[in-house]
């Protein structure tokens, strides 16, 4: 049996009376690429924020390997092996691409025991992997959006995570750039990285995910392989609205 890396049990998050997440139970196994989809406002980013500790779960339990991380601090979660990117790219301003990635290498999993020199070696490897070596001395403000997204992935990788959350990394990319990104993620996964890919564009996720989890209004409405999900009535309804889904049904019949 493959090892379960991350496990959520009946996780809920309330903002006042609003349930942003309700009773979510999920698992991510080692070596998987899991897609997390759902229409706008489904709770995808909230879930990632709760797992990474930026928000605290109202009820429920989250485990990473053997450790209960439900109420752990974000920096602790970062150090034990979960790294993430942000929907709206966050990078450290007034620094070069290399310095940004260096921060990941200095504070991530093996960061604290590392000298700056050792960290820079790691940075070199990661930049090589994502294809940014030539731009390492460019100030982050002067990079293009696709490069910045790659850099954010590089920063997360420099932390040497076991589980990587990618929050809408495809948004704003051209189809060609999207393909390059997907190729990068496949390569990462082949090297053993477990990935949770959060997208609201279904197309981007279907090609590379082994399994897809669908959220709608904070609830888990479907889970399965991409093909099952794309045919699932509840998913189609959530994305297109019930009336349109019925019409599509009628058309096919």
Partner 1 sequence: MFTKKWRWISIGVGFLFLVTAPLFLTGYWIRFLTNVFMFGVMAEGFNILAGFCGIPSFGNVVFFGLGAYTTCIFMVQLHQPFIAGVVAGAILSTLFAILLGFPILRLKGHYFAIGTLGLSEATKELVTNLEKITKGSEGISLPVIAGNVNVIYAVFYFTMFGIMISIILFTYWMSKTRLGYAFQAIRSDEEAALVTGINTAWYKTIAWSVCAFFTGLVGGVYAYWTTFINPEGVFSVGITVKMLIMTILGGSGTILGPIIGAFIFEFLSELAWSSFMNVHAAFLGLLFILIVIFMPNGFMQLITQRFSLSSLIAQIKENRI
Q: Which is nearer to partner 1, 13 or 216 (CB)?
A: 13
- Comparison of 43 and 78: residue with beta carbon closer to partner 1: 78
Q: DSSP 3-state assignment of 147?
A: helix
- Cα–Cα distances in Å, from 169 out to 4, 99, 100, 127, 200? 25, 21, 17, 17, 10
112 exposure class (CB count in 10 Å sphere: 0-12, 13-18, 19+): exposed
Closer CB to partner 1, residue 22 or residue 52?
52
Instruction: Compute the least distance from the CB of residue 241 to partner 1, in Å.
Output: 33
Of 64 and 222, CB closest to partner 1: 64
Whole-angstrom Cα distance, residue 124 to residue 108? 16
Instruction: Summarize the chain as % helix, strand, coil (round to 5).
Output: 40, 25, 30
In the complex, the residues that contact partner 1 under the rule CB under 8 A are 52-54, 73-75, 77-79, 83-84, 86, 90-95, 99, 102-104, 106-109, 111, 116, 155, 159
Shortest Cβ distance from residue 108 to partner 1 (Å)?
5
Q: Least separation, in Å, of the C-beta of 201 and partner 1? A: 24
Residue 194 C-beta: closest distance to partner 1, Å: 17
Residue 160, token pair as written in the block: 């040497």
- Nearest CB to partner 1, comparing residues 158 and 236: 158
Quick check: 216 and 39 in contact, CB under 8 A? yes
Torsion 51-53-56-62 (CA) sign: positive
């Amino acid at each position: 049996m493959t090892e379960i890396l991350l496990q959520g049990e009946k996780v809920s998050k309330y903002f006042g009376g609003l349930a942003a997440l309700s009773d979510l139970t999920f698992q991510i196994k080692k070596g998987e690429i899991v897609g997390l989809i759902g229409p706008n406002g489904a709770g995808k980013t909230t879930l990632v924020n709760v797992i990474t500790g930026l928000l605290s779960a109202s009820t429920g339990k989250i485990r990473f390997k053997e450790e209960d991380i439900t109420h752990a601090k974000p920096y602790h979660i970062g150090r034990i092996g979960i790294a993430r990117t942000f929907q709206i790219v966050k990078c450290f301003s007034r620094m070069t691409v290399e310095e940004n990635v260096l921060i990941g290498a200095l504070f991530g999993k093996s960061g604290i025991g590392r000298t700056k020199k050792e960290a820079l070696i790691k940075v070199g490897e990661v930049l090589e992997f994502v294809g940014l070596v030539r731009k390492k001395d460019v100030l982050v403000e002067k990079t293009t959006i696709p490069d910045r997204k790659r850099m954010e992935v590089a920063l997360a990788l420099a932390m040497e995570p076991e589980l990587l959350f990618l929050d809408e990394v495809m948004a704003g990319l051209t189809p060609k750039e999207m393909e390059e990104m997907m190729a990068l993620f496949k390569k990462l996964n082949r090297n053993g990285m477990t990935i949770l890919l959060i997208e609201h564009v279904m197309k981007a996720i279907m090609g590379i995910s082994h399994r897809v989890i669908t959220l709608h209004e904070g609830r888990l409405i479907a889970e399965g392989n991409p093909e099952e999900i794309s045919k699932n009535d509840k998913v189609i309804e959530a994305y297109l609205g019930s009336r349109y889904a019925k019409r599509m049904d009628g058309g096919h019949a």
